[in-house]
Structure 1
Amino acid sequence: MGRSTAEVDENQGEPEVGRIREAAEAADWAAVREQLTERPESEDRTWLITAVAETANVENWIPQAVEAEPGSALPLLVAGARHVNWGWEARTGARAQHVSREQFQVFHNRLRTAEKWLYAAAEREPEWVSPWYFLQMSGRGLQAGQTVARRRFEAAVRRHPHHLGAHQQHLQQLCDKWGGSHEEMHAFANRAVRDAPAGSMLGQLVALAHIEQWLALDSGADAEYLGQPEVTASLTEAAERSIWHEDFAYEQGWLQVYNTFAMAFSLTGDRELAKPCFEGTDGIITRFPWYYLDADPATAYRENRAAAR
């Protein structure tokens, strides 16, 4: 079943992600810009911009690119995206009660700067979806509220109706921990899958919703929740409309979708259903969502894959 010594692939099986990371690490804006302009303003470009946004020190050189190209939206978009990620780096993934006042101040300052750049990019290129994807992330950090979050999500999907990243961000917004509810979260996931074409990667949302509810529950109650037959039925139906459908869209992010279903079925104990999901990954591990199970996602993946065998 795939590779025997699986490790996390930070590029998620996409060589161009590695190339743009290298260019960003080298502060080579010309190479970054060239690669971004080669991709349509859609999921593909959002994916690559995310890789740049996750790269350390981009915040030190991207303002010069903004100044050098005053008429261009692209450096504004990249600068905004980096500041969103940079802001969340300052906050860390800790619970709010474990984040200091100083951390929150840095977090919010960086997000406010990000929003200025992202709105400027959106004004210059009103058809672009990527600014609205990153504005969903900054808005959640700034606690802009559910109404603003919904408007930003709607702005994204008007431009790209089945944008996986935009849907993932809105699902997060609807989680109980961000002011939503389990009911809203599941309703959104199910509606998105129902309205999407067969074979859409949006099937992942159903699996993510079940994982998020599992994370929110206390020990014991979490296993009881995932052990319910209706959870398995829900996951199976979503997989059949997504990764197991003959028209499954092997687009940017498809490996993460397979990994998510593999983890979800592993958590429910449905090893026979988890097995084809693991096989579909061909041993390529995405950090998300396995880091929910272990600080070393590869360990979590390998242990659960072995059980599925």
Structure 2
Amino acid sequence: MTKTSRTSGRRTDGDQDGGGRRAGSGTPVSDPFDALPGLAPLRAAARAGDWAATRAFFAGLGSVDDFSFASGALADVEGTEGYLEAAAEALPADPLPRTLLAERYIRIGWDIRSGARAQHVSREQFDEFHDWLRKAERLLIEVCAEQPAYAPAWTARLLTARGLELGHFEARRRYARLSAHHPHHFRAQSQLLQQLCPKWGGSWESAHGFARECATAAPDGSHSAVLVAEAHIEHASDLTDAQQAEYVRDVSVRDDLRHAAQVSVLHPDYRDGFHRITGHSTFALAFSLGGHTADAARHFAALGDTAAQSFWQYLPDWKTRFAKYRQAALATL
């Protein structure tokens, strides 16, 4: 796998309707607004600069996980900072426009920085990156002071903490403030996991330990155990090719992944949401890298022609690799 650094955790998920899905055969759809019909009204509102429709969309979401996912997806829509700035100015007491605007500033900053490792990012890129993150941080500090239980703002502050290199203690402090009100918030957990990886100054002991802690504490059928697969993929990506092959094929890693999948996306109590394809895509990749094609098959079958780009993009020409792995896995069904 290519050694890259995940940026602000942009996610690409798929249809959340929980019905039957045909086995995939075409090029995977990874744009979240195309893969997730439920997000279509948000894209339409963003493109029209329609704040009322944007607010109505978020008001209609049924979970904090979907809310946070959608705020991250909106941040990827270019040019939205204009109408979000107008909304934030017109509604100074409302946390939503300021939080969405902060997410957009964070995305602008991360796009300038790029997903490259730090040694490949120029000083000018870092300066601009940090400027945008500081603008976001100022907004988010206000929101969190006014609304201490507002999960979307605390989640975004995990992104700024990492990008501004505020350290592990501060990142964990922010996560603790969020988790006191929302103990199994998947996007926040995934962001803190990134902070705990060696590429951001952490260790594999910390990263795997946090993933296991989240998986164990969460109720069966939640997304938290997906972190186990994320940690293994990150660990593998940091190894040489020879070491990586040995690592991902290890039986203990395979069994760890199997258990995590069974208590999360494969559990009978699992309920679809915007993160469904994030979970299945992550497990499909982890099992495929280890050559565990039969284990990967159920996840590819659930994905159909959709995919989450987030970890697959570590692979060169990832859509081609996805299709090959999917073909091999589905042949075992």
The bucket for the TM-score relative to the shorter chain is: over 0.9
Residue in structure 2 matched with residue 123 of structure 1 by the alignment: 145
Aligned residues: 308
Q: So what's the TM-score if we normalise by structure 1? A: 0.95
> Which deviates more, 108-117 or 21-30?
21-30
Is 1:182 matched with 2:204?
Answer: yes
Q: So what's the TM-score if we normalise by structure 2? A: 0.88
| Gapped regions of structure 2 (runs ≥ 5) | 1-21
> Which deviates more, 141-150 or 186-195?
186-195
In structure 1, C-alpha distance between the alignment counterparts of 2:70 and 2:87, rounded to whole Å: 17
Cα distance, 1:173 vs structure 2 = 0.7
In structure 2, C-alpha distance between the alignment counterparts of 1:198 and 1:146, rounded to whole Å: 28
Q: Which amino acid is the alignment partner of residue 158 of structure 2?
A: Q
Is 1:290 matched with 2:312?
Answer: yes
What SS is found at the alignment partner of 1:202? Answer: coil
Q: Which amino acid is the alignment partner of residue 196 of structure 2?
A: L
Of 5, 12, 24, which aligns to 1:3? 24
Is the contact between residue 24 and residue 300 of structure 2 (CA under 8 Å) also seen in structure 1? no
Which of structure 1's runs of 4+ aligned residues deviate more than 6 A? Answer: none
Residue in structure 1 matched with residue 3 of structure 2 by the alignment: none
Is the contact between residue 214 and residue 224 of structure 2 (CA under 8 Å) also seen in structure 1? yes
In structure 1, C-alpha distance between the alignment counterparts of 2:28 and 2:301, rounded to whole Å: 15
Q: How do 1:222-261 and structure 2 match up within 5 A?
A: 222-261=244-283
Is the contact between residue 20 and residue 51 of structure 1 (CA under 8 Å) also seen in structure 2? no
Q: How do 1:257-272 and structure 2 match up within 5 A?
A: 257-272=279-294
Residue in structure 1 matched with residue 321 of structure 2 by the alignment: 300
In structure 2, C-alpha distance between the alignment counterparts of 1:129 and 1:104, rounded to whole Å: 27
Q: How do 1:107-256 and structure 2 match up within 5 A?
A: 107-256=129-278
Q: Which amino acid is the alignment partner of residue 291 of structure 2?
A: G
In structure 2, C-alpha distance between the alignment counterparts of 1:8 and 1:175, rounded to whole Å: 28
Q: Which amino acid is the alignment partner of residue 61 of structure 2?
A: R
Q: Which amino acid is the alignment partner of residue 57 of structure 2?
A: Q
Is 1:95 matched with 2:95?
Answer: no
In structure 2, C-alpha distance between the alignment counterparts of 1:198 and 1:40, rounded to whole Å: 19
Is the contact between residue 42 and residue 128 of structure 1 (CA under 8 Å) also seen in structure 2? no
In structure 2, C-alpha distance between the alignment counterparts of 1:244 and 1:153, rounded to whole Å: 27
In structure 1, C-alpha distance between the alignment counterparts of 2:130 and 2:323, rounded to whole Å: 38
What SS is found at the alignment partner of 2:259? Answer: helix
Is the contact between residue 155 and residue 187 of structure 2 (CA under 8 Å) also seen in structure 1? yes
Is the contact between residue 77 and residue 117 of structure 1 (CA under 8 Å) also seen in structure 2? yes
Cα distance, 1:290 vs structure 2 = 1.3
In structure 1, C-alpha distance between the alignment counterparts of 2:24 and 2:273, rounded to whole Å: 22
| Gapped regions of structure 1 (runs ≥ 5) | none
What SS is found at the alignment partner of 1:80? Answer: helix
Cα distance, 1:40 vs structure 2 = 5.0
Higher relative contact order (CA 8 A, sep 6+): 2
Q: Cα RMSD over matched residues?
A: 1.5
Cα pair distance change 1:153/1:16, threshold 3 Å: same
Is the contact between residue 182 and residue 213 of structure 1 (CA under 8 Å) also seen in structure 2? yes
Cα distance, 1:41 vs structure 2 = 6.6
Cα distance, 1:123 vs structure 2 = 2.3
Q: Which amino acid is the alignment partner of residue 4 of structure 1?
A: S
In structure 1, C-alpha distance between the alignment counterparts of 2:149 and 2:290, rounded to whole Å: 41
> Which deviates more, 30-39 or 252-261?
30-39
What SS is found at the alignment partner of 1:238? Answer: helix
> Which deviates more, 39-48 or 213-222?
39-48
